[in-house]
Amino acid sequence: MSNTMHRGVLAPAPAPLPPSWTPLRYHPEQQRLLASDARFKIVAAGRGSGKTFLARRRVVAALAESSGMYFVAGPTHAQTKRVYWEKLKALVPPEWLDGPPRETELCIRTIFGSSLYVTGLDQPARIEGDQWRGGVIDECSDIRPDAWTRSIRPALSQYRGWCWRIGVPKRFGVGAAEHRKAYESAVAHTTPDSDGFWWPSRDILTPEEIAAAQTELGMDDFEEQYNAKWLDNTGALFSGFAAQETVRPCAYDPTAKIWVGADFNVDNMSWVLAHRGAVGLSVFDEVFARNTNTQKTLDILWGRYGAGHTGGWYFTGDASSRARKTSAAVTDYVTIQNDQRFARAGRTVHMPAANPPVKDRIAATNRLLCSAAGVRALHVDARCVKLIEDLKLRCELDTNPDRGHMTDALGYLVWDQFPLRVEGPSGQGRVIILPGPSWGGGR
């Protein structure tokens, strides 16, 4: 192995790249990304489109180019470790290693005098204190907007280090606006040493995978996640809601199971009542009550439907405690479990172990309201005045104290029965199922 000069630093020539480094499919924009001389490369590409695949290989190849320190960073330490650590260890040829990878530090050291660190930017100070030759920042829409200017950019100055800033275009996320601004500036070449790169998922994934995603996601989420489009955040959270399409008669059936989604609060208590179909929900009623508790709400529910209902019941809802909550979450579910009227009528109580992230719950609801394939699988009866108002008016920064509870109740039920399909480790789809006890009658 002969020595070669790289950027003024003497380093051994790298070993031949293993076959696994061969790109899965040629794409001109990806080739332009790899060939570009830009110091800072801002990538806005679709989910599962190969940007992380390429970033891993670029940063590993850099280990043989120059001595010094390199990094891979993401929104949190745990997330970055999960996405990168094992795959990076598998990519580095064994003959490059200067000892085994350091699991505690998440550091790989090489015989070239270079080292690669995996870290999270939930604490941007982790990147400070050293000067870096180069690195990758992934999921940039979820990176704190001051991390780049205050912590990362200054740490690349001494060696004129390079950086890939990659991610999916997003409306929401703490760093979404910053990522969009960086990309648009790079494309316009108004930022020195920068260039922007874009491609959609459909150029990489199979038509079958794209068709499945259209079914699983709402229109805005599909356009954003797979078509890699920058969408304007207008504030309205439920973009899939359309009064003429969503609001329609949803008949109550005394012989069909009533599916109850509950948001447990003293003021206000918000529950939705629905019948479940094979692919969606028909919400036929709601319970909205002030200064109350779970037992009193059960009394309201029994008074409306209990005596004559033969189809059984299913209860799920909020897993977390909140201000002015009726009680600890477990007590709310135990109250339902212990109500003998519903027990005799046949009920299942499903208490989730944890609430999904709000953005995922909203995305799942939007997907049922209107998928990217144009399928509407969630309908609401006109009598559900509070729910319709919430779907129509709820915004990201809404300060109305009554807003959000009814759509939260709906979202818990949607997530329980129709959770989002997400990309798994192999690139295939998997379904998130929340763990938690389920009492009485099974699901």
Q: Parse the chain into domains and list their residue ranges.
A: 16-205, 243-439
Cα 133 to Cα 68: distance, rounded to the nearest angstrom = 6
pLDDT tens per residue, range 200-245: 999 999 999 999 888 888 888 888 999 998 876 556 788 889 888 9
pLDDT tens per residue, range 327-355: 545 588 889 999 999 999 999 999 888 88
Q: Which pLDDT belongs to residue 386?
A: 92
| Gyration radius of the chain over CA positions | 26
Residues 6+ apart with CB under 8 A from 112: 11, 12, 63, 64, 66, 67, 96
Better-predicted residue by pLDDT, 55 or 397: 55
Q: Which pLDDT belongs to residue 400?
A: 64
Does this chain's domain 16-205 share its CATH topology with 243-439?
A: no
Residue 80 has pLDDT above 90, yes or no: yes
Number of residues that make up the chain:
443
Write down the mean pLDDT value for the chain: 85
Cα 50 to Cα 423: distance, rounded to the nearest angstrom = 13
* Count of beta carbons in the 10 Å neighbourhood of residue 338: 12
Cα 412 to Cα 401: distance, rounded to the nearest angstrom = 19
Better-predicted residue by pLDDT, 126 or 86: 86
Q: Which pLDDT belongs to residue 24?
A: 54
pLDDT tens per residue, range 90-111: 999 999 999 999 999 999 999 9
CATH architecture of the region 243-439 = 2-Layer Sandwich (3.30)
Per CATH, the number for 16-205 is 3.40.50.300
- Three-state DSSP at 92 gives coil
Residue 20 has pLDDT above 60, yes or no: no
